Amino acid sequence: MTVCIAVLFKWNYSAKEGQPDWRTAALTASDRMLTAGDVQYEPNQQKMAEFGKSIVLVAGDMQLHMEAIALTTKEIGSRELPPQNVAQIYGRAIQAINRRRAENEILAPLGLNLDTFAAQLKDYPDGFINMIVGQLQNRRPIDAEALVVGTDGQDTHLYLVDEHGNDFNLDGVGFGAIGIGAWHAKSRLMQISYNSRNVFAWAQASIYAAKKIAELAPGVGKYTDLHLVHRMGHELVLPLAIRKLEELYGKYTGKTDELARQMIEELQNFMDDPRNWREVVNDERQSEQRSQAGVGASAATPEAARGNEAGSESPPRSKS
């Protein structure tokens, strides 16, 4: 139960005035709510792992993610890999853990694993094979997703890794979110038509608002960690900036609430004024009368046309 969000935006990497170098950077936002089995808590701990210039934000079963992070760290080692490769390796780690747990739940009680089961297929009746294969195929993967955000040395890229270990590039969308609050966050970003051509201030305001909206979902923590990811690496957004975002969000949310109250009040005044309803009734009566008049005219028109057709004479022929 959590939320992690990432948005791409345009960042000027040039230090020379008048010679901009616009490339892609990213902001990430996450709470600190952790889920381990049936336990939820919000410790003083960020929900991310670092792999060179890429970071991985996680949502779902934290026990699986801790194991996946360890497997990914072991495979990557000290190499500096682009985010696409990090996402693929992390996805394979999720697949390996799901595969092992499926073996433990379905095959281990029978004294088997996937290798021995495959090797001994010819020794089993078809009904037994179909039963085991069906259980393996129908087993739901563990609830675990990740966002991988990092640079290839030029631009910053965004990948989603789902519970099956599949990786998806989200550069074209410009944002992504995972966890129970993901739909709230994505709905907010879609509502404002967020895209990766936005600039830094727009990205900060948008991702913070999306995180606050996501807090409506049960189990999303109130604390917010913001990270900036660019082609030089990644860094934590200063608490001063977060406090300013919180101040501005509260200020303008209050104004939105006041506008909503005014709209309801004006609507109620309209509904309470009988003159408005008389005007509506008169307009409907006039519309009905015009409609009936139009039907009568249209009914007479074909008759007139047929009459003209029957009474018409051939045009005079010219004499030779």
At 195-245, the pLDDT tens digits run: 999 999 999 999 999 999 999 998 888 888 999 999 999 998 888 888 899
pLDDT of residue 311: 46
Assign domain 3-237 to a CATH class: alpha beta
Residue-range domain boundaries for the chain: 3-237, 239-295
Residue 202 burial (10 A CB sphere; 0-12, 13-18, 19+): middle
The pTM of this model reads 0.79
Task: Report, in angstroms and rounded to the nearest whole number, the Rg of the chain calculated over CA atoms.
Answer: 32
pLDDT of residue 315: 44
When pLDDT is cut at 50, 70 and 90, the band that residue 255 belongs to is confident
When pLDDT is cut at 50, 70 and 90, the band that residue 71 belongs to is very high
CB 255 within 8 A of CB 214: no
Average pLDDT over residues 97-120: 92
